[in-house]
Structure 1
Amino acid sequence: MAEECTAYSYPPVASQIKSFPPIWQPATILSDDTVAQAKWQSISGSVPTNISGTPSGDFSNVSYTAADPDCWWTYHQCVEPKLEGIPPDVSSVPEPDTLGYGFDDGPNCSHNAFYQYLTDQDQKATMFYVGSNVIDWPLEAQRAVTDGHEICVLTALQSPDAFAELYYTMQAIKLVTDVTPTCWRPIANALGLRTILWQYDSFDWKAGTGNVTTETVDANYQSLINDVQNGVFSTEGAIILTHELNNYTMSTAMKWYPQLKQAISCRSPVALNNTQPYVETDYSMPSFEEC
C-alpha cells in the first residue's frame, strides 16, 4: 500500500494545475475563470438562499412545516424538487431484483486490489469521485474508465462553493480521463448532472466512530440481503451507499460481494439503463438486459 500511495507527478495535470482551485480546501471560482463565473451567474438567481435548518438536517432551532416546501432530502427524504425545471432525484432503480452498486470518495491510491476484484467478478460500478483525489491520483481515476466503471461527481458543500467543487471536479475528471460525468451525489442540475441518492446506507464510512462498529456495518449489509429475500426488491431495485474511502471499506465490500451476488440477480452501476453515461458519445456501458 505504501508504494501504491507514493505521490507522483502526472504531466497533463501538472501543466493545468493553475486552472484549478487549491486542492483539499473549500473550492471557490477562480478570479480569472470567466467561463465558470458566467455559468454561475446564469444559475445563481434560481438557487434558494432561505433554506431552513442545517446541511446535516438539524431543524431543532427553526420552525419548518412538514409540507417540506424546500424539498430537503435530509429532513424528509424528498426526491421531487419543487423548483421548476429540476428533474427528480435518482433514489431507486426501476428494474426489479437489481442493486445500484457504487462507491463514494475515490479514487483511492490503494484501490488496485479492490478494482482487480471487481474486474475478476466482471462487476461494474458507479464511482463517485472527489476532485482533489482525481488531481492527486489521476492514473487511479483512469483505471475506472479502463475497467468499464461509471464515474460521477461527489461533493458535500453548499453554493457557490458547491458549484465550484462540482464544476472543477468535472473539469479534473475530463482532464484526466477524457470523459465528462453526467451525475453527482449530494445547482448540480444546471451543470447537466443527475442527482444520485440511496436507500441503504452501509455506514462503512463511519465504522469505528460513535456507536458504529464493524458489526453494525455487517448488520447493514445483512439487512439489505434480508429485504431481498423477503421480496422488497420484487417490484423495483434499490441503491446502496458504500465507499472507496479506505482499506476497511473496500475490504468489506469484497467480503460481502459474494452474498450480494447470490441474493440479487443484477448488480449494476447507477446509470439506470443509460448506455451512454457521459457527455462524450464514444463510450458505452451495459444495459439492464446485459447485467
Structure 2
Amino acid sequence: MVRHTSIQSTIALLMAVASITVNAQNTTSTSTTTSTSSSSIPAQVSPEWLKDVVPIAGNVKEYPSGTNASIPTGPLPTVNFTASGYPEGWKSPPTTSAEVQAVINALDWSKVPGSPVRKADSKGDLTMTGYDSSDPDCWWSATGCVTSKNASIPPDVAACPTVGDWGLTYDDGPLTSDAGTWAEPNLYDFLAKQNQKAGLFYIGSNVIAAPAAAQRALADGHTLCVHTWSHPAMTSQSNEAVVAELYWTMKAIKEVTGVTTKCWRPPYGDVDDRVRAIAWQMGLTTVLWDEDTDDWNMPGDGGGNLSPETVDGYFENWIAARKNGTDNQTGHIVLQHELNNATVSMAEKWLPQVQQAFNVVPWNQCFNISQPYWETSFVYPIADGSRPAATAVSSSSAAASSTSNPVKPSTSVISSNGVSAAGIAAAASAASCNTITSGSITAALGMVAVAAAYIL
C-alpha cells in the first residue's frame, strides 16, 4: 500500500501529461521533436541513423484492414536477403563499427544515469550482492521496479490498464525449421485461424536468419518489437554494448520488414534506469509484463526442467480468477515464447480458453497505441477495435510517432491527435484515495509512459 503523500506526486505527473497540447507538424525538418514542455522526460525522435536503410522487397505497406483483408498462411516464400554487413548471429555485436559509433555520438549521455554495469556469470545470472536495498537504479531484476526513480525516464509499460484485457506477447522469434512442425509459420498460422494478433519481441539474429517469417508476421498484423541482438542481461552490458544490441536489431527489423519499431523488451526483464534511458533516446519504450508463464523453462530446445503441468496450472488459475471476479485490479501483459515445440504447443493449447475469459489483444492495443512504428502508414486498431486515420506528416519528423489517443477513448480530447484529458483524469482518480494498490499505480503510470512515448 502507498501513502497519500506519494500519490500526490503521481497525480501531478498524470495531470501533467493531460496538459500537453499536441500539434501535428507538416514539415520536412529532421530536427522536429515531440513537445514535452510539461515534462522533464526528453522527447523521442525518429531514428535519424536508420533513415538510409532500404527495406527488401515483399513487404506489406499497411496494417491489414477490412473484413476481406488477406492474411497470408501456409508455407513461407523464399526471400532474397543477404546478411552481409551484420554482426555474427547470437554473439555480442562489436561496438566499434561506424554505424554503432554514429548512434553513440547522436545520444545525449548527460541524460543517461551512471548506474554501474552489473556483473553476470557465464550463464548470464546476475550478481546482486551488495546492491542498495533502496533500489536507487530501479533495477527490475533486483526489485521488480517498473517506475523509474529518475524524473527524466518514463515508467515501463508493464500491465494493461483495463480489467479483463490480456496483452498477448511472444518473445524470441522469429524461428523457422526445415521440418516446419512447430517453427514458423506454425504459430502465425494458428494465430491467423484464431483471428488473433499479438506483440512479437524479435531477436535481431533471428530476424536476419528467418526474414520470411518476420515479413509474414507484419503482413498478419502483429506488432513487431525489439528483443536485442543476442539476448544478454542488458544491465551487464556497457553503454556502448547496449546501443549495439538495440541498433542492430532495429536495423534488421527495418531492412527485413520496412518498419522502424518504437518498442523493446529486455531479455529476462533485466533493465535499470541506465538501460531505460539509452533505449528511450533510441526511440524505444520499455515493455515488460505482469504475468509470466515460465513456458521457456519447460523441457525443449533451449528450455529447462519445469513440468508442463505447472505451466498448465498458471493458465488455469488466471482463467479461474478472471471468471470468479477476483482478478479485478488491472489487465495484464503476459509473457510467452515462440522458442521451441513446447512453448508453441502450450500457446496453442491455451489461447482458445484464454480468449473465452479475457479480451485478448496485442499489448499496444490495450494502451490505444495505433502507431507502434515511426512509419505512419501502419495504423493498428485501438481498444474499441477501430482504426484512427493516419496523420499526414513528414517521415523525417518525430511527429510521425502516433495518431491515436494513448489512453482509453473519452468524450473529452485535447486535440484530434492528443491525449484524452478525461482518460488521464480517470487514471488519476484511482490514486485519489489515501491508499491504493501497487497494481493501480502500475496501470496509471503505464498510461503515462505510453502517453509520453506516442503523442505527437
- Once residues 257 and 106 of structure 2 are traced to their aligned partners in structure 1, the CA distance between those partners, rounded to angstroms, is 23
Pick aligned residue for 1:121 from 190, 194, 200: 194
- How many residue pairs match? The answer is 279
The equivalent position to 1:270 in structure 2, one of 345, 355, 363, is 363
- Per-residue deviation, 1:120: 1.1
CA deviations 1:98-140 (Å, max 9, x no partner) are 0010100000112212111111111000000000000001110
Aligned residue for 1:289, secondary structure, equals coil
Structure 1's 143 and 43: CA in aligned 2 closer, same or farther, altered over 3 A? farther
Are positions 1:149 and 2:222 aligned together?
Answer: yes
Distance 1:179 1:52, change over 3 A: closer
Deviations 1:1-57 (A, max 9, x none): xxx79xx7x44x31x621x222221122342225234235x3387243426675745
Report whether the alignment pairs 1:284 with 2:379: yes
Partner Cα separation in structure 2 for residue 66 and residue 229 of structure 1:
37
Pairwise CA distance, 1:150: 0.1
Find the counterpart in structure 2 of residue 197 from structure 1: 288
1:162 offset after TM fit, Å? 2.3
* Separation in 2, partners of 1:278, 1:67: 36
Correspondence for 1:134 among 180, 202, 207:
207
User: Contact (CA 8 Å) 1:125, 1:270: kept in 2 or not?
Assistant: yes
Q: For residue 47 of structure 2, what is the aligned residue in structure 1?
A: none
1:167 and 2:260 aligned: no
Equivalent-residue separation in structure 1 for 2:84 and 2:144 (angstroms): 38
List runs of 5+ in structure 2 lacking aligned partners: 1-74, 177-182, 267-277, 387-456
Whichever residue aligns with residue 255 of structure 2, its letter is L
Secondary structure of 1:101's partner?
Answer: strand
Which residue identity is paired with 2:373?
A: Y
Kept in 2: contact 1:105–1:128 (CA 8 A): yes
Compared CA separation, residues 182 and 243, structure 1 to 2 (3 A): same
1:229 Cα deviation after fit: 2.5
1:68 equivalent in structure 2: 135
**Structure 1 residue 77 corresponds to structure 2 residue 141:** no
Q: Distance in 1 between matches of 2:255 and 2:96?
A: 17
Q: Which runs of 5+ in 1 are unaligned?
A: none
Question: 1:254 — aligned with what?
Answer: 348
Could you tell me which residue of structure 1 aligns to residue 95 of structure 2? 29
How far does residue 172 in structure 1 lie from its aligned partner after superposition? 0.5
Output the amino acid matched with 1:249. T
Q: Is the 8 A contact 1:28 1:165 kept in 2?
A: no
Normalised to the residue count of structure 2, the TM-score between the two structures is: 0.57
TM-score scaled by length of structure 1: 0.88
- Alpha-carbon distance, 1:73 to partner: 0.9
Match of 2:322 in 1: 228
Supply the distance in 1 between the matched residues of 2:305 and 2:110 (Cα, whole angstroms): 39
The answer on whether the counterparts of 2:160 and 2:331 sit within 8 Å (CA) in structure 1 is yes
Q: Is the contact made by 2:265 and 2:287 (CA closer than 8 Å) also made in structure 1?
A: yes
Q: Distance in 2 between matches of 1:218 and 1:130?
A: 26
Q: Which amino acid letter does the alignment assign opposite residue 222 of structure 1?
A: E
Q: 1:280 to 1:232 in 2, by over 3 A?
A: farther
The equivalent of 2:69 in structure 1 is: none
Rounded to whole Å, the distance in 1 between the matches of 2:381 and 2:91 is 36
More contact order relative to length (CA 8 Å, sep ≥ 6): 2
Q: Who is 1:181 aligned against?
A: 261
The higher radius of gyration belongs to: 2
In structure 2, distance between residues paired with 1:251 and 1:198: 21
**Residues 99-108 or 109-118, more deviating:** 109-118
Q: Say if 1:39 and 1:223 are closer, same or farther in 2 by CA, change over 3 A.
A: farther
Structure 1 stretch displaced more, 254-263 or 21-30: 21-30
Cα distance in structure 1, aligned partners of 2:242 and 2:162: 31
Q: 1:87 aligns with which of 154, 162, 177?
A: 154
1:57–1:75 CA contact under 8 A, matched in 2: no
Deviation at 1:146, TM superposition (A): 0.1
Match of 2:307 in 1: 213
Q: Deviations over 1:151-181 (max 9, x none)?
A: 0100333232222111110010000000111
SS in 2 for 1:288: coil
Are 1:56 and 1:74, in contact at CA under 8 Å, matched by a contact in 2? no
1:43 aligns with 2:109: yes
Percentage of pairs with the same residue:
40
What does the per-residue CA deviation read over 1:54-90, in whole Å, with 9 as the maximum and x for residues that have no partner?
574542x31x333211101111111111234211001
Q: How far, CA to CA, are the matches of 1:210 and 1:21 in structure 2?
A: 28
Pairwise CA distance, 1:191: 0.8
